[in-house]
Amino acid sequence: MEKNIEKNYIEGKVVVITGASSGFGKLVSEKVAERGGIAIMGARRENLLKEVADGIIANGGKAFYRITDVAKYEDVKALVDLAVEKCGRIDVMINNAGTMPLSFFSDHEKSLPAWHNCIDVNIKGVVNGISAVYDLMMKQGQGQVINLSSIYANHPVMGSGVYQATKIATWYLSETLRQEAQGKIKVTTVKPTGIAGTGLFDCILNWDSVKGMFGAKTEEGLEMTSPEYMTAHPECTDIESISYAGCDPNTLAENIMYVINQPWGVNISDITVRASNERYLL
């Protein structure tokens, strides 16, 4: 009997990815194309989108892109329409675009604009993504929606209230869609751990807010994330070691590929990706 995991179920699939100009979105777009899928990429920065698309095409892959602000339904619908125009269908919708403006409520005067944007991108963006593909996927009789949540959705901690609320909302939107569309749309919630190098860390407004992730292990956790510690303990950056302490973006992207690379009859509905030696409370 052939093992499903050894097959390439990504080949030929039309995959729409938001937030595709950098971070997880860029990596997933490239990996989809490498495995024979068609990447339909949306993001707000056209120059970076074009750079990613050009790289994919230069390597023999297929990619199309459109400037997309996920907070605007008309933008997301236009991205979906592009996929249908170029490919005739959509197999997978990945609602990846996100922002993480961690800060305390005492920081509200400087944080409110970023918090409001976070709600627009992280919640409205997911609602818009689902809405833009729902009718099409139901008519097709099959489709897959993958929503990027976070380990921050697991438990409330200080310094991240607004961001956590958006990621809990993402999780709940996924679960309600799964229940409503069973047998027609597969739905997956992906909860990445804290992963540097994606651009999300650049959104942090108050770095003291990060301490909430570590709880009682704050001192130990912060020490382990310092460049000095990592240099002195190379096993913490070795993915082959049980002491691996900080996931790189590629690890998360590969697990998103795993979620897509399943037969239509199999749905990985929840997946959390961690480093085995991390010190996060969540």
Mean pLDDT confidence for 83-100? 96
114 Cβ contact list (under 8 Å, min separation 6): 99, 101, 103, 203, 205
Specify if 76 maps to a domain: yes
Specify if 241 maps to a domain: no
DSSP 89-128: --SEEEE---------GGGHHHHHHHHHHHHIIIIIHHHH
> For a pLDDT cut of 70, what percent of the chain falls above it?
95
Residue at token pair 């749309």: 185
pLDDT digits (tens, 9 = 90+) for 175-213: 999 999 999 999 999 998 876 656 666 778 788 887 877
Query: What's the pLDDT score for residue 5?
Result: 61
Q: What is the phi/psi pair of residue 204, to 5°?
A: -65, 130
Mean pLDDT confidence for 10-29? 95
49 Cβ contact list (under 8 Å, min separation 6): 20, 21, 41, 42, 43, 65, 66, 67
Question: Burial of 104 by CB count in 10 Å (0-12 exposed, 13-18 middle, 19+ buried)?
Answer: middle
The number of folded domains in the chain is 1
Quote the mean pLDDT of the chain. 92
CATH code of the domain covering residue 162:
3.40.50.720
Structural domain of 137: 4-205+248-273
Specify if 219 maps to a domain: no
Specify if 66 maps to a domain: yes
Q: Is the pLDDT of residue 281 over 50?
A: yes
13 and 260 Cβ atoms separated by less than 8 Å:
yes
Q: Is the pLDDT of residue 216 over 80?
A: no
Strands (E), the chain: 14-18, 38-43, 62-67, 92-95, 143-148, 185-192, 270-273
pLDDT digits (tens, 9 = 90+) for 147-171: 999 999 999 999 999 999 999 999 9
| Predicted TM-score of the model (pTM) | 0.92
Specify if 52 maps to a domain: yes
Specify if 234 maps to a domain: no
Specify if 188 maps to a domain: yes
> Which residues are part of the catalytic machinery?
163
Query: What's the pLDDT score for residue 246?
Result: 81
Mean pLDDT confidence for 242-266? 91
- Residue predicted with more confidence, 143 or 223: 143
* Spatial separation of the C-alpha atoms in residues 188 and 178, rounded to whole Å: 8
* Spatial separation of the C-alpha atoms in residues 17 and 34, rounded to whole Å: 15
Specify if 94 maps to a domain: yes
